[in-house]
Amino acid sequence: MPLPPRLYATLTDAADPALEAALQAGLDGLLVPGGALPGGVDAVAGTLARIREAGREAVVEIDLERGLIDHVSADLLVERVRALVDRGATGVRLAGLERIAAERVHDIARLLRERLPELRLWAGPFGYARATAHGLAAVDALIASYGWWDYSAPWFAEEMAALAALKPVLVEVRPHQLRGADDPIGARRRVLGAVALGDAILPASVFADAALADQLAAMRAQPLPAGTRLRRLTDSEAPVTALLRSAEDVRTAENAALLLFNRRDTPEPVPAADLVLPALGSGFALPSLDPLGAGEVRVVPLARTAPIGFAPAEDAEAAADWPRLVIEAVAPAVSGGAFAVKRVVGETLAVSATIYADGHEQLAAEVQWRPLDESEWRSAPLTAQPNDLWTGAFPLERLGRHLFRIEAWLDRFGGFRRDFAKKLDAGVAQLVDHEEGKRLVREAAARADLGDWVARLDAPGADGAALLLDPALAARMAAADDRPHRLVSSEQLVDAERLEARFSSWYEIFPRSMSGDRSRHGRFEDVIAHLPRIRDMGFDTLYFPPIHPIGRANRKGPNNSLTPAPGDPGSPYAIGSEAGGHDAIHPELGSFEDFARLIAAARDHGLEIALDFAIQCSPDHPWLKAHPGWFAWRPDGSMKYAENPPKKYQDIVNVDFYGPDAVPGLWQALRDVVLLWVEQGVKTFRVDNPHTKPLPFWEWMIGDVRARHPEVIFLAEAFTRPAMMYRLAKIGFSQSYTYFTWRNTKQELTDYLEELTTEAPKEFYRPHFFVNTPDINPYFLQTSGRPGFRIRAVLAATLSGLFGVYSGFELCEAAPLPGKEEYLDSEKYELRPRDWAAPGNIVADITLLNGLRRAHPALQTHLNTRFLKVDNDAMLYYAKPEPQGGGMILVLVNLDPHAPQEGSFEVPLWEFDLPDHGSVAVEDLARGYRFDWHGKTQTIRLEPDEPYRIWRIAPQGGQA
């Protein structure tokens, strides 16, 4: 059981009125001033006698002031101390040490110990003369400088550690260090903190305060460690200072105490356990603690927790079968292999892994792959790179999903050849080295056909060294290798999709607006008439919002109003009427035969049709009557309409994926809807708000559809949290809408693209950069005029391989609903015929951009985007290196639609290993002329009316 800390009181003088209160406080002893030299012995005699009469230790303080000690011999000092002992003193405290030479102090202490061996001898505090404590072997205890500590500076813990390594330590509060009535909180903190730290010396006046005396008694009653080893747990800025106190090294101590000092005069929370416990460096548990009161000092006893034990899983014989090699960091990988890496069929997949083993053995490794519908693995060797990195590649030759894995083993013959060649070069190869190689060849010949290699090695006069190092033998040995200590990594899935999953230009229209007449609902045959115009702008995917029957219940009028006129068409997202649901076509658009003619005509124009897959129903949808168990009904039999606050969709109700009859019926019905449209020739689906539907449904449904039709592409329209957007991509969506719509500044665009191209999403997330949508009329476009549309077009078309436009963008439509990011007179609620040749359009820009995207593979992916330096924050400058490395596309954009911007920019000569004064051939792809750049730094000015430049550069001698 730890003993309570020893406690002493200091009298202000021999007549201190607090003497009696201190004697009644159960202290171990009192310190009496008045032992200053040369006199003072008789003045304290009565006080010493009273202390001894009360059974307490009586310690006299002697202040070794330099001005006096230099005139007093050590012998005279000893005699005066002896006189104090004769009058009842049991000990002497040597103070004022920082003003005395260390050698002098050591001499005095040694002489006192020799002459008065029973005397308790203390020394300190040392202040800035801490070195004096070293060599004071004669003293019994040292006194720390606690009274000057501000509870934050690190020096105090350092001093305590230094002194505790020499002698037992006391902490002291001098009477003048208490401000009393001026700072009662600080005074209480100073006094209680001294006792918390261990053996303490306090002013006798403290014990005249009954409340404070009771607090001291309670603190002394706690089971504190006997020692004063301290470890600092918090930094100097923390409002609560935490120290660990233990009697021995904390690594072995069974018990310790957490000391908490609230430095502030207001309540403060206890430091967080995850900050304190790691700093303890050992297994102590921290109980739940209430906040500290103003200036509170708290002692929290700590006991060591039992470590977690476990039984070894297997014995040494079994452990010998554990993998000797290590395969780590296999790349690419998505979530440790839980989801597919995404690529395009025809690409070569570069792979890498960290592979190593003990010792200096030579390793060999290969990548193995197979399509999911094949059982035989193909393989290609990996090449060793520095720092245990191995790299390789394999082709994705078929559309669909593949598996790959890494296999590695000890290459014993390869290791022999490596070392044998070194020995031959050094002239130290021995006969036994030749025999070692021959033995490996013979062992291989016993398990595989090596031809005549054994005979050739054993032939008289054969040049064994040359034969053993012959590459032809190495190839035969590799084929015959039994691959000792073979290790195979876990398998990683790769989804090789068609090119349009990574590179496509989308154009969105409402077919019902294609008649050109506001009074006549458009039909599929009207869309066919627009196909040449859409093709000529360079788009390859024509995307429709839902084409299904539209409900009449709660139908919306213009601008999302709740009061439609009789002829208003309603929102195509309110799917379902007496004419059918998701598996039907809105009668005013045409029939399935009409749709088939549209699909064929689009194909003839190099276009494919993408449909919107919106899992929502109007109250008139046939499913509500046929399958009420697929929906969530209120107790009164009504149904809550859909909401996406602050937006409300009174004309839509949602299915309940986990309703009483929903599994598996609803899930299968939705899957069958997709399969129906696939059979009609639709291979691409834009999915409306997939983040509001269950992830397990999407993973199952997309997997099921693509198992039957690997060519099908799903685009996620999920403007939501990044984690959800990324998860949707992982579970099967080929593409995703993005935050590009709201990334307008140089920093925003740079940060976002670097996230998509350099971090984990690069392996599975394909960003589709739509410049606008029927739901989103970006604020930037509302105020930027025609220059803003050109800026956003060039950014979307050149930053990502996936580029999307909602019709009207090319006409610079931007009239908003006041204060909202929505279109006035939105096409979602009314027919919207347009003049496609309206003045001020940017059709030429879009046509140019789509043409460049088709002509230059560098513009068909976002993954090669590299931002370059231009010294103007209103300008964005980036490179798109070509896949074959012959040249690169450079794009420089003025992001300010209202003012000209100019700046100096760097030509990336280093990419072609050219010096800063080198030259490159340049082609202006927008203007169609060629020239040369000389030197790394160039300047440019871009007007709002011509806000971008697109160049192709290549080394001179090549063709830009």
880 is in an annotated binding site: no
Q: At what angle do helices 412-426 and 431-445 cross, to 10 degrees?
A: 160
Question: How many residues are given for the chain?
Answer: 960
Q: Residue 340 corresponds to which tokens in the numbers above? A: 């597919």
Contact criterion met (CB below 8 Å) for 2 and 223: yes
Q: Residue 338 corresponds to which tokens in the numbers above? A: 């839980």
What does the radius of gyration of the chain's CA atoms come to, in whole angstroms? Answer: 43
860 is in an annotated binding site: no
Contact criterion met (CB below 8 Å) for 240 and 198: no
Contact criterion met (CB below 8 Å) for 894 and 947: yes
B/e letters for 667-696, b = 16+ CB within 10 Å, e = fewer, are bebbbebbbebbeeebbbbbbbbbbebeee
**Which of the following is catalytic: 411, 717, 810, 813?**
717
Q: Has 183 been annotated as catalytic?
A: no
- Residue ranges of the alpha helices (H) in 389-544? 412-426, 431-445, 453-458, 464-468, 471-480, 524-536
Distance separating alpha carbons of residues 926 and 949, to the nearest angstrom: 7
Distance separating alpha carbons of residues 385 and 388, to the nearest angstrom: 6
Distance separating alpha carbons of residues 856 and 859, to the nearest angstrom: 6
Residue 364, CB half-sphere, CA atoms under 13 Å: how many?
A: 23
556 is in an annotated binding site: yes
Residue in 896, 918, 894 with CA at minimum distance from that of residue 907: 918
B/e letters for 357-376, b = 16+ CB within 10 Å, e = fewer, are beeebbbbbbbbbbbeeeee
**How many C-beta neighbours within 10 Å does residue 485 have?**
14
DSSP SS3 for 85: helix
**Which of the following is catalytic: 688, 763, 830, 896?**
688
- In order, the DSSP letters of 125-192 are --GGGGGGGTT-TT-SEEEE-GGG--SS-THHHHHHHHHHTTS-EEEE--GGG--GGG-HHHHHHHHH
Residue in 738, 675, 662 with CA at minimum distance from that of residue 702: 675
CB neighbours of 701 closer than 8 A, spacing ≥ 6?
667, 670, 671, 674
Q: How far is CA 334 from CA 341, 713, 900, in A?
A: 6, 20, 44
Q: Has 481 been annotated as catalytic?
A: no
Contact criterion met (CB below 8 Å) for 280 and 245: no
Phi, psi of 945 (to 5 degrees): -75, -15
DSSP SS3 for 596: helix
CB neighbours of 762 closer than 8 A, spacing ≥ 6?
756, 863
648 is in an annotated binding site: no
Q: Which residues are catalytic?
A: 688, 717
Q: Which residues are annotated as a binding site for alpha-maltose 1-phosphate?
A: 556, 616, 651, 689, 828-829
Q: Which residues are annotated as a binding site?
A: 556, 616, 651, 689, 828-829
